[in-house]
Structures are given as C-alpha cells and as structure tokens.
C-alpha cells in the first residue's frame, strides 16, 4: 500500500522522486515551495490574494509512541489521503515535516475564507484513524497567511504561516490562526526576550527565589520551592510565565535550569539540614536522558545531600515521553532524591501514572484550593485526592493558600503540607535566610516562655 500509493501519486503529478514524500506520495517541502513560487510569478502583474497554511498534528508523538512507528506511518498516510481528498481542483497539499503538512489555496482571497477552509481540514482530521484492530484520534492546529503583494516571497509567506501556527498551538489544540501584523510584533518581542534570556543565562543573571512550604498543623517551615526570577537590564522584570515557555520552546531550558539549581543548592547549604529544597523539571528535561546526570553533577559539586532535594514534575511533562520520564524518575529516586507530582488534576495523565511512577508527594493545584470555601465540587475533589494519597502512602502539599480559612479547611480534611502567600511570598536567597533566622528566634522565644 505504501509503495504503490507513493509511486502512483508521484507519476500522476508528473513529479520526480526529489519532489515527492516517499511515505505519503504527496509533494514534499521542495514541491510546496516550487508551487508557491510559480503562483507568485504568475500573479506578478496582478497580485491577486491567495492563501497558504501549515497543518500540525497535535499529540502525534505520544500516539506514535503508544501504537508504534508502523502505526504512526499508517496514520500519516491516512492523514495525507484525507487532506488530498479535501482539495479542490485548484488547491494542493504537501508533507513538509514529520507531522506537518502545507496547503496552497490559489482561489481563497480573504482571511475569513482561509480560516473557514482550515477549520474544515481540522474537522476532517479529527475523525478516528484505523490502527490495526484499534482506532486512534488526533486533533490538528493550523496557521495561515495570505499573499497580498508582489514584494512577498515564498519564504516570507511560510514564515508568516509558521508564526500563526505558533500562536494557534499556544491557544490550545484544534485551533486556527491567520497571520496578523500584531503576531509579527509579538514574534519580534519573543525573539528579543529569547536573545536577552540567552545572554542572561550565559552571564548567570537569572536568580532563584524561594517560597516556604509548611506543615499546616504547626506552621513550621519544612522546605522551600525554587522559582526562577529574572530582571533584564533593558527589558526590565520579565514574568516567569513569559520567559519559561520561551526557554522551553527555544531550547534554553536546560542551561537555565542548571543555573538555577546550582544557585539554589549553594543558597540552601546555609539552611538547617532538616529543610528540603524543591525544584521543578520542565517537560523537555523529562525526555533528555542526561537530566539525571546534570542534577547529580551539580549536587556533587556543591556538596548538597540528594536526600534534601525534591524534584517536581507535571502531568503534562509525563505525557510527552512516559518511558523516558519513568527512567529519569527511577535514576533520581535511586540516589535518594524525592519526586513530587505537581499541579495534580489539571494535566492529561491517568490515575494509573501514580502507581507506575511511585511518587513521594503530590501537590494539589491552586485551582482547587482557591475555590475550596465556596465550591462543593472542589471540596470533594480535594477530599478524594487526600484519601487516595493516604492509601498510596504519599505526602500531600496544597498550593495557593492565601486565607486562614482555606488552611483551616485543609487541616480539617487531613492535608499535611501547605504553600501560598499566607505563609510567605517567593524571596531571594538573602531574604530567605533572614526569614529562617527570624523564624528560629521566634521559636526560641516560644520555648523560653
């Protein structure tokens, strides 16, 4: 099926193998650029608009890992057949990447029409796929751009479509975005932040801040979570909600994480030895088998006891490559590092992950804690999580506690640990050491009384 479909399609299009994707029989990256360049040349004297777009399959890698590469190839062939069947006589589609396809709509003249056609493609691709005796489902994201001027080249159009695709994927699965000038400005801003962040990481200018984690019943500090903070000399303070995703997407997260862990463990050496340091691992670090080696090297170099370190990973991070994540978790636990599942209840994993990964701790997401006083479903969810963790022998920390009444309710339900502004905001290393000294003097005064 694979050979005949690919070869037959190549001959029908009158193309040679250099312009054909061997798996699907569609045109490849070279064929797509050739088609767009020819259309631009045809319309040089009368630049009537046309649309190009990129379709990216959401979540294809986990499905590929789950069903195997042969099944993944079969799905890609089915995707190609659906896309090809959806094209009218003027339009064409090519495969330009592992799970990316590009389309050309010569007779689409407006952004609204391009978005409508793209939404139709997403709907077509969302139907189940046959994988042997089983079925699989996929969603897709699409970015589009329109040709308006003879000054635009194929590369410019494709780059604009990729920028729109980037925004579509950041908005969630199954989204369509058509390129706008605002996106271009946003993309330039992201690039400025990326370049500044690379410089800051290289110069060691990103700093760890620490937020206390307490025993809810006694309010005694038992550890601190490490949080990255960065103020650029030109751009000013940059929120971690902005620079962490950029670091993840642009391949900076590894060096950034190592910098923060090195500085954090240096600071934590001055803390009482019974306090632990909690540190977040990003999803991309859970697919890098060197992650454990990097962590252990930093701990060894700084003389920091691995048994005082907790690493936090998210449900979403587990789903990218469960087998790789499991091996990294095992490597860390083998040397005494504790592993915590962060933001529980908001990701994509199943309850089975709790049994497979043998977590030491679970952190209840702030979304449930913030509504615990007025929302019965949140209350029931927290109760269920606590009961489950008790049965699994896991510690629990509730995040985002801001009110005494929330802390009291959590204690009533049997929650052991807490974190949030009620107990302290993130602070730098010097302020955290001062906080600990004040806490120690306060405890001494209480003992004296």
Residue pair 200/206 in contact (Cβ under 8 Å)? The answer is yes
Lowest mean pLDDT segment, chosen from 50-54, 156-160, 283-287, 409-413: 283-287
pLDDT of the residue at 443: 52
3-state secondary structure string across 226-253: EEEEEEECCCEEECHHHHHHHHHHCCCH
Domain ranges for the chain: 2-179, 194-448
Q: Helices 181-203 and 154-170 sit at what angle, rounded to 10 degrees?
A: 80
Residue pair 137/123 in contact (Cβ under 8 Å)? The answer is no
Q: Residue for token digits 């699409």?
A: 142
CATH architecture observed for domain 194-448: Alpha-Beta Barrel (3.20)
Q: Averaged over 218-244, what is the pLDDT?
A: 96
Q: Residue for token digits 């590929």?
A: 64
pLDDT of the residue at 19: 94
* Identity of the highest mean pLDDT range in 111-115, 129-133, 350-354: 111-115
| pLDDT of residue 55 exceeding 70 | yes
Q: Averaged over 311-320, what is the pLDDT?
A: 83
| pLDDT of residue 128 exceeding 60 | yes
pLDDT of the residue at 188: 86
Q: Residues 6 or more apart from 103 whose CB is under 8 A from it?
A: 52, 53, 55, 83, 87, 91, 92, 93, 94, 121
Per-residue confidence band for 429, with pLDDT thresholds at 50, 70 and 90:
very high
Listed residue (140, 181, 177) closest to 162, CA to CA: 177
| pLDDT of residue 31 exceeding 90 | yes
309-314 and 338-344 strand pairing: parallel
What strand order describes the sheet that includes 50-58?
Answer: 92-95, 100-105, 50-58, 139-147, 176-178
Each residue of 250-283: pLDDT tens digit? Answer: 999 999 999 999 999 999 999 999 999 999 999 8
CATH code for the domain defined by 2-179: 3.30.70.270
pLDDT of the residue at 347: 57
């Amino acid at each position: 099926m694979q050979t005949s479909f690919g070869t037959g399609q190549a001959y029908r299009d009158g193309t040679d193998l250099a312009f054909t994707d061997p798996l699907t029989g569609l045109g490849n990256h070279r064929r797509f650029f050739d088609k767009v360049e020819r259309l631009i040349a045809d319309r040089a004297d009368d630049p009537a608009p046309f649309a190009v777009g990129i379709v990216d399959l959401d979540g294809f890698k986990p499905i590929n890992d789950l069903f195997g590469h042969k099944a993944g190839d079969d799905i890609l062939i089915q995707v190609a057949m659906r896309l090809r069947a959806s094209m009218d006589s003027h339009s064409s589609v090519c495969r330009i990447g592992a799970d990316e396809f590009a389309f050309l709509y010569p007779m689409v003249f407006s952004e609204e029409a391009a978005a409508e056609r793209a939404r139709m493609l997403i709907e077509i691709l969302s139907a189940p796929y046959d994988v042997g005796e089983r079925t699989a489902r996929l969603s897709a994201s699409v970015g589009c751009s329109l040709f308006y001027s003879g000054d635009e080249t194929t590369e410019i159009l494709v780059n604009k479509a990729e920028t729109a695709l980037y925004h579509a994927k950041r908005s969630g699965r199954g989204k369509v975005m058509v390129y706008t000038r605002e996106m271009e400005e946003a993309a330039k801003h992201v690039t400025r932040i990326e370049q500044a962040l690379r410089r800051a990481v290289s110069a060691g200018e990103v700093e760890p801040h620490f937020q206390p984690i307490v025993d809810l019943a006694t309010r005694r500090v038992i550890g601190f979570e490490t949080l990255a903070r960065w103020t650029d000399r030109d751009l000013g303070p940059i929120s971690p909600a902005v620079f962490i995703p950029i670091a993840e997407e642009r391949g900076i997260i590894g060096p950034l994480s190592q910098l923060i862990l090195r500085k954090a463990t240096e600071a934590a050496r001055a803390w009482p030895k019974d306090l632990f340091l909690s540190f977040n691992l990003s999803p991309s670090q859970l697919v890098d088998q060197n992650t454990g080696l990097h962590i252990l090297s930093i701990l060894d170099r700084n003389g920091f006891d691995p048994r005082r370190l907790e690493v936090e990973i998210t449900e979403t991070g587990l789903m990218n490559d469960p087998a790789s994540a499991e091996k990294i978790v095992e490597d860390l636990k083998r040397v005494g590092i504790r592993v915590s599942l962060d933001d529980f209840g908001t990701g994509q994993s199943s309850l089975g992950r709790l049994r497979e990964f043998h977590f030491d701790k679970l952190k209840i997401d702030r979304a449930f804690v913030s509504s615990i006083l007025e929302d019965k479903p949140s209350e029931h969810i927290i109760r269920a999580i606590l009961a489950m963790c008790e049965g699994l022998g896991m510690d629990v920390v509730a995040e985002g506690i801001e009110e005494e009444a929330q802390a009291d309710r959590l204690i009533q339900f049997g929650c052991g640990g807490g974190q949030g502004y009620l107990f302290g905001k993130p602070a730098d290393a010097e302020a955290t050491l001062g906080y600990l000294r004040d806490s120690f003097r306060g405890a001494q005064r209480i003992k004296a009384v």
